[in-house]
Structure 1
Amino acid sequence: MAWFLLAFGIWSWVIWITFVKNLWASENSWGPDGSATGFFVVHLILAIVSFTLGTIIGIIGWRGLRTKRPDKVDV
């Protein structure tokens, strides 16, 4: 499970970095006066939330991998 969480965190960063680059370059992101549009603001907030959640999930996975598990003892 820890490997899955770590992979999800990394995947989230890869995907959302690409998304933000494309968002920044999009004609829909900027108004005629050069200001950010509602489209840009909403999608940037979505990306920030996704970066945050991806980071938290990745940290949980990393900590899970670093946790030393005791050997099972059959009683």
Structure 2
Amino acid sequence: MRMSGRTSLFLLAFGVWSWIIWVSFARNLWESDRAWAPDGSPTAYFVVHAVLTVVSFVLGTIIGVIGWRGWRARNQTKE
């Protein structure tokens, strides 16, 4: 399958953007008062959002890698 340079750059930018956003979210989640019970254990709020964060990291990475591979393949065919 071939993809355009624009599509490759979009996917790559999406992957990078996803990491920037979710790292910030994870930091804020960790520091949130709602994330931890008084005894120090994680709350359901923390667990649900931690799973969401991990899934988003994985999907952002996969999408970014697809974009990177598409960009590299596009540049290799020009030579």
Match of 2:3 in 1: none
Q: 1:14 aligns with which of 14, 20, 24?
A: 20
More off after superposition, 13-22 vs 61-70:
61-70
TM-align CA RMSD: 1.2
Match status 1:69 vs 2:68:
no
Structure with more of its chain in helix, by fraction: 2
- Paired-residue identity, %: 60
Instruction: In structure 1, list runs of 5 or more residues that go unmatched.
Output: 71-75
Q: How many Å separate the matches in 2 of 1:24 and 1:64?
A: 35
Aligned residue runs from structure 1 range 33-72, under 5 A: 33-67=39-73, 68-69=76-77
TM-score (norm 1): 0.91
Match of 1:3 in 2: 9
Q: Tell me the SS of whatever aligns to 2:37.
A: coil
AA of the residue aligned to 2:19: W
Match of 2:34 in 1: 28
> Residue 69 of structure 1: CA displacement?
3.1
TM-score (norm 2): 0.86
Larger Rg: 1
